[in-house]
Amino acid sequence: MFSEQAVKTFMACRFCPMCRHVCPIGLTTGNEGNTPRGKGLLLNYVHTGMEFTAEMAQDMYECCLCHNCASECETGFSPPLFIREARTQAVVQDLAPPAVRALLDNLEATDNIFGLTAENVSPDLREAVGTLPETAPTLLYLGATARFKTPDIALAVIRLLQKAGVEFTVLADEPSSGAEPGDLMGFVEDVRQVAQKCAAAITASGAATLVVLDAHSARMFKQQYAEWGIALPAAVVTATDYVAGLLRDGRLSAKAAGVAATFQDDSALSRELDETETPREIIAAMGIDLKEMFLNRKRVKSGGTVLLMEYAPRLGQLAGEGRWLDAQRAGVPVLLTSTPDSFVVMRETQPETMTTTDIFVLLEQNT
């Protein structure tokens, strides 16, 4: 049922409470089953003969896979490994929560969790993409959240690359990277086939550089594709890293934004991709007075994910509200984000006393 490494991991985690203090879901619910230890204990019962139930499956989805538990583990274990494998079992045994099954149906029908099609992309973004060349040395991968939920961020990045004189294009019919189905059902063969389809589209574009706005997709391209042996001919770089490089090279020049702000690191960007400083380079280029929040960079507390918001909105709301408490303590009126995913979850849970702003949108306004 579980891989040898997953068994070894949940056997180690089942009696260890040393990461419960960094779990954003466990902290907000106070439910031991929402901690890595609680999940490890449940799976140990299953491993020794107990039936895997719908209630257990539900618990495995009450996690945003932020990897803070793995980052804090002094012995090198990674609970997301067994959580993903448990989600695989939930799907195989038809025990996944109905909201999760609905997202998987959306993915099968439309290649995105929202169940939307190209006609649902904003007219401004469709027009901007339509004016780009069919092929170019650089390909910008937006991701479903940017295309359907935050077109202003997608447009800002497009305009920044145009201002910098970058020869680039965007796939008009952008396929899923496999990030969302991988989080919903584990890294199974069906997800590998989704990844192969995406890799084929990227290869067919002929681009030598792949700039990725969605951090979860960047993690897939850089890590999971390599593990599967799926070759990408393009060099993968995150949008934050790429735009920071344009500022360093003088191809973009920023004006002072005149704001004081705090910053929410994206968990996938900071922990899984080891990228914490390039967003801060972009912030510094605009002369922003940055007040760091408690728990930042690799130790950032997640505010949830768009995926969690879609299938478990109550938990997503609690995770976001928990992080906003830290943001309010920074004593500044603006919270900055660097990925569409982080922007959506923080915007959806934003208190009346503060404002959420994306760094690419702010930079485009100040170049």
Mean pLDDT of 23-51: 91
| 238 & 259 share domain | no
18 confidence band (pLDDT: 50, 70, 90): confident
| 137 & 215 share domain | yes
| Per-residue confidence (pLDDT) for residue 107, from 0 to 100 | 97
Comparison of pLDDT for 33 and 126, the residue scoring more:
126
| Per-residue confidence (pLDDT) for residue 73, from 0 to 100 | 87
| 129 & 237 share domain | yes
Please indicate, yes or no, if residue 108 is contained in any of the structural domains: no
List the Cα angle 213/353/336 in 5-degree steps: 20
CA distances, 65 to each of 103, 129, 230, 304, 305 (Å): 17, 32, 23, 9, 9
| 43 & 14 share domain | yes
Please indicate, yes or no, if residue 60 is contained in any of the structural domains: yes
Quick one: which of 331, 273, 322, 328 has its CA closest to 297?
Answer: 273
DSSP state letter for 271: I
Please indicate, yes or no, if residue 105 is contained in any of the structural domains: no
Please state the pTM of the whole predicted model.
Answer: 0.95
* CB atoms closer than 10 angstroms to residue 172: 12
Please indicate, yes or no, if residue 112 is contained in any of the structural domains: no
Instruction: Count, in order, helices (H) and strands (E) of the chain.
Output: 21, 8
| 123 & 238 share domain | yes
Please indicate, yes or no, if residue 181 is contained in any of the structural domains: yes
Mean pLDDT of 229-256: 97
| 262 & 311 share domain | yes
| Per-residue confidence (pLDDT) for residue 122, from 0 to 100 | 96
Mean pLDDT of 321-332: 96
| 240 & 122 share domain | yes
Sign, CA dihedral 118-340-125-207, equals negative
Boundary of a domain, candidates 188, 212, 245: 245
Sequence-distant (6+) residues with CB within 8 A of 214 are 141, 142, 143, 144, 145, 146, 177, 179, 339, 340, 341
> Which structure tokens are listed for 306?
């768009």
Rounded to whole angstroms, the Cα distance separating 73 from 81 reads: 13
Mean pLDDT of 216-243: 97
| 207 & 268 share domain | no
Mean pLDDT of 129-158: 97
What digits encode the pLDDT tens for the residues 45-79? 999 999 999 999 999 999 999 999 998 888 889 99
Given a cut of 90, whether residue 1 has pLDDT beyond it is no
- Domain CATH code at residue 63: 1.10.1060.10
Q: Hey, what amino acid is at 197?
A: K
Rounded to whole angstroms, the Cα distance separating 29 from 358 reads: 28
Q: State phi, psi for 37 to the nearest 5 degrees.
A: -60, -45
161 confidence band (pLDDT: 50, 70, 90): very high
Boundary of a domain, candidates 210, 226, 245: 245
| Per-residue confidence (pLDDT) for residue 306, from 0 to 100 | 97
Q: How many domains does the chain have?
A: 3
Rounded to whole angstroms, the Cα distance separating 76 from 73 reads: 5
| 223 & 301 share domain | no
State which residues form the domain around 296. 252-365
DSSP string, 111-148: SSTT---GGGS-HHHHHHHHTS-S--SEEEE--HHHHH
DSSP state letter for 260: E
| Per-residue confidence (pLDDT) for residue 32, from 0 to 100 | 87
| 190 & 291 share domain | no
Boundary of a domain, candidates 217, 245, 273: 245
Mean pLDDT of 293-321: 95
| 122 & 206 share domain | yes
- Domain CATH code at residue 160: 3.40.50
Given a cut of 90, whether residue 212 has pLDDT beyond it is yes
Please indicate, yes or no, if residue 127 is contained in any of the structural domains: yes
Give 80-85's long-range contacts (Cβ < 8 A, gap of 24+).
81/3, 81/5, 81/6, 81/9, 82/2, 82/6, 82/7, 82/9, 82/10, 82/13, 82/39, 82/40, 82/43, 83/36, 83/39, 84/182, 84/183, 84/186, 84/187, 85/2, 85/3, 85/6, 85/186
Q: Which residue, chain included where needed, has tokens 């086939």?
A: 193
Quick one: which of 271, 202, 279, 267 has its CA closest to 238?
Answer: 279
| Per-residue confidence (pLDDT) for residue 199, from 0 to 100 | 97
DSSP H stretches of helix in 14-112:
24-29, 36-47, 54-60, 68-72, 79-92, 98-110
| Per-residue confidence (pLDDT) for residue 150, from 0 to 100 | 97
Helix axes 79-92, 98-110, angle to 10 degrees: 80
Please indicate, yes or no, if residue 106 is contained in any of the structural domains: no
11 confidence band (pLDDT: 50, 70, 90): confident
| 164 & 230 share domain | yes
Given a cut of 90, whether residue 293 has pLDDT beyond it is yes
Please indicate, yes or no, if residue 111 is contained in any of the structural domains: no
